[in-house]
Structure 1
Amino acid sequence: MTLTAHIDTTRPVATLINVFTVSPDRQVELVDLLSRATEETMKHRPGFICANFHASLDGESVVNYAQWETEEHYRAMLADPEARVHMDKAATIATHVQPRLFRVESVHAG
């Protein structure tokens, strides 16, 4: 079964929005690393739902929008040594990393 992001105020998931600041010449490298880390490690961790990566048009940012079943699942992943290897590597490519957990408060569609 393939799980994708489903944004819904009635779905109590932990939403990670992680903004990476990166040199434009390393943006593709960072997206590739994050994508590979997700395929090899993150998606096999308990509670993982999905991850999406967005590359800014100016080349200076990468945004990771990910969903975990609970905050506890997300925190367990942070403590996982195999997952840490990938996160530490991403931190060497990015010049600034700003992860935050969110809950969905409002959804609007056209």
Structure 2
Amino acid sequence: MNVFTVEPANQQRVVDLIVRATDEFVSKAPGFISSTLHRSFDGTKVAMYAQWESAEHYEAMGRDPGPLPLFGEVLTLAKFEPGMYEIVRTFPPATE
């Protein structure tokens, strides 16, 4: 899960850059499962929840030179707070 802190005026640009990087490069990387992009209502955060087959697959994607210019621009607009987590539990909707 990666969180980007942005000025509200830059939120949409950061969203656009991450969408482009994901569409063009990240989603095609070996080991990629899925991702979901979020933006905060107050305009100050963009978060990407991504699932990978392994941490090694994620780290290999990070070394791919293809998306680096897009991610580089994101880093000029946002503070990046990366995090790697393991799934503890998934909660389905409650049934009666």
Is the shorter-chain TM-score for this pair beyond 0.5, marking a shared fold?
Answer: yes
What's the RMSD between the two structures over aligned residues?
1.1
Distance 2:25 2:46 in 1: 19
For the 8 Å contact 1:77–1:83, the answer to whether it is kept is: no
- CA shift, 1:20, in A, is 0.3
Matched, 1:105 2:88: yes
Matched, 1:54 2:28: no
- CA shift, 1:108, in A, is 2.2
Task: Provide the residue aligned with 1:19 in structure 2.
Answer: 3
- CA shift, 1:88, in A, is 1.6
SS of the equivalent of 1:100 reads coil
SS of the equivalent of 2:82 reads strand
Tell me the TM-score normalized by structure 2. Answer: 0.90
Q: Deviations over 1:75-98 (max 9, x none)?
A: 10111111322222211111x100
Listed as ranges, the gaps of 5+ residues in structure 1 are 1-16
**% of aligned pairs identical?**
41
Match of 2:29 among 45, 58, 63: 45
Task: Provide the residue aligned with 2:65 in structure 1.
Answer: 81
One-letter amino acid matched to 1:102: Y
For the 8 Å contact 2:3–2:82, the answer to whether it is kept is: yes
Distance 1:52 1:91 in 2: 19
Task: Provide the residue aligned with 1:13 in structure 2.
Answer: none
One-letter amino acid matched to 2:86: R
Tell me the TM-score normalized by structure 1. Answer: 0.79
Distance 1:36 1:107 in 2: 29
Runs (4+) of structure 1 exceeding 4 A deviation are none
Listed as ranges, the gaps of 5+ residues in structure 2 are none
